[in-house]
Amino acid sequence: MVGILALQGDVAEHRRALRDCGIEPREVRTAAELEAVDGLVLPGGESTTLLKLIDRYELRDPLVKRIQGGMAVLATCAGAIILATRVSDGETPLGVLDITVTRNAYGTQRDSFEADLDVAGVGRVRAAFIRAPVFEATGEGVEVLATWDGHPVVVRSGAILGLAFHPEITGTPVLHRYFLDSVLDTTGRGGA
């Protein structure tokens, strides 16, 4: 069972992408709902708002525990920012993905752009960067699967797949497919 953290952000777009992969995801807003899923999508949106809501819904500890316990996570844009160990500004992140992040590093909403990326093990991916962060540095054990303009934009650390962009609004959901086939399946918790 795959869940989508449904507190804020582009939940509907991820639901559609997963449905396109033949998966009916469950919305996650409580610790009990989190317990019931094998993998979780953290959507993009606004990382400060997401972290405030995570604390308000008392999800911080349960999320950290599940992620440190090996739950598969697809974290996109703000979803990846909230997992980082070091972030330029904003609320305290969860600190489970060893990356250093500068928020809004490409400028404002009007500086948003699309790019074609070559992602290792996946192939060509059309990516939408929307008020995107820059992953400045990655720690040991964090694999870089794609870069853009000299910076990592797709990283993998164990069962965490972190993206600096939105994969759910452009083209076919190849990164969702990769997440389901190559990340979720390797956690040993079974498929979707």
CA distance 182 to 66: 19
Nearer to ligand GLN, 38 or 103 (CB): 103
Binding region for ligand GLN (CB under 6 A) out of 11-19, 125-133, 143-151, 179-187: 125-133
CA distance 132 to 5: 19
CA nearest neighbour of 163 among 52, 43, 60: 43
The CB-of-33 to ligand GLN minimum distance in angstroms stands at 22
The DSSP secondary structure of 36-79, one letter per residue, reads: T-SEEEE--S-HHHHHHHHHHTT-HHHHHHHHHTT-EEEEETHH
Active site residue 166: yes
CA distance 8 to 10: 7
79 to 98: interface string for ligand GLN, x by CB under 6 A: --x-----------------
Site size for ligand GLN, by CB under 6 A? 12
43 to 82: interface string for ligand GLN, x by CB under 6 A: -xxxx-----------------------------xx--x-
The contact set with ligand GLN (CB under 6 A) reads: 44-47, 77-78, 81, 103-104, 130-131, 133
